Amino acid sequence: MAIAKNQVVILDYRLQNGGPDGDLIEETFGSQPLQFIYGIGQMIPAFEENLESKNEGDEFAFLIKAAEGYGVHDPNAVVEIPMQQFEVEGKVDPEHIKPGRPLQLQDPQGQTYRGVVQSHTTEVVTVDFNHPMAGTDLHFTGVIRTVREATESELDHGHVHE
């Protein structure tokens, strides 16, 4: 069965930075394979486009340029936030503003944003709200393990059931 919209795809993959000789970012071989419903927006569109019409047992290898993956690094998404925003009862917990620490912040309208602390001074905390893989070309290799029709329940819930 060839991969098409509303089908469950189960695959193993290796993801490397930039190309086949790039640093390993992650892989599923020897662990839990990736499972998703094709064509409902769960995956990067370019990832799905490269898998379209493949069948069980097919191997794949493709590169997704940063702009088609998680985007290019946007310097405007690196912002300085006043230190007072991190105060709780007049104090800032140093662990909350440690460089490399992931943060989840909300704006006044309740929209949630995920970022990573880059640095801080006594006045501001610099937070990068780019996706962690922004600016990274993604090289995937792998094999399609299973392709099947998604059940009505899976389609209703928007995810694969075990």
In tens, the pLDDT along 121-156 reads 999 999 999 999 999 999 999 999 999 999 999 999
Q: With respect to residue 162, please indicate whether it lies within any of the assigned structural domains.
A: no
* Average pLDDT of span 42-58: 96
Distance of CA 101 to the CA centre of its chain: 17
Q: With respect to residue 86, please indicate whether it lies within any of the assigned structural domains.
A: yes
C-alpha pair distances (Å), 12 with each of 35, 117, 142? 9, 32, 5
Angle at 125 between CA 123 and CA 128, to 5 degrees: 155
* Average pLDDT of span 59-63: 98
CATH number of the structural domain spanning residue 20: 3.10.50.40
DSSP class of residue 66 equals: G
Q: With respect to residue 1, please indicate whether it lies within any of the assigned structural domains.
A: no
Same domain, 41 and 96: no
User: Which residue is it, tokens 């469950």?
Assistant: 8
Q: Where are the alpha helices (DSSP H) in the chain?
A: 45-51, 152-157
Task: Tell me the three state secondary structure of residue 159.
Answer: coil
Task: Tell me the three state secondary structure of residue 86.
Answer: helix
Residue 25 structural domain: 7-70+133-157
In tens, the pLDDT along 70-126 reads 999 999 999 999 999 999 898 988 888 999 999 999 888 999 999 999 999 999 999
Q: With respect to residue 99, please indicate whether it lies within any of the assigned structural domains.
A: yes
Confidence of residue 27 (pLDDT cuts 50, 70, 90): very high
Q: With respect to residue 2, please indicate whether it lies within any of the assigned structural domains.
A: no
Tell me what pLDDT residue 107 has. 85
Q: With respect to residue 95, please indicate whether it lies within any of the assigned structural domains.
A: yes
Question: What is the model's pTM?
Answer: 0.83
Tell me what pLDDT residue 90 has. 87
Tell me what pLDDT residue 74 has. 97
Q: How many domains does the chain have?
A: 2
Q: With respect to residue 49, please indicate whether it lies within any of the assigned structural domains.
A: yes
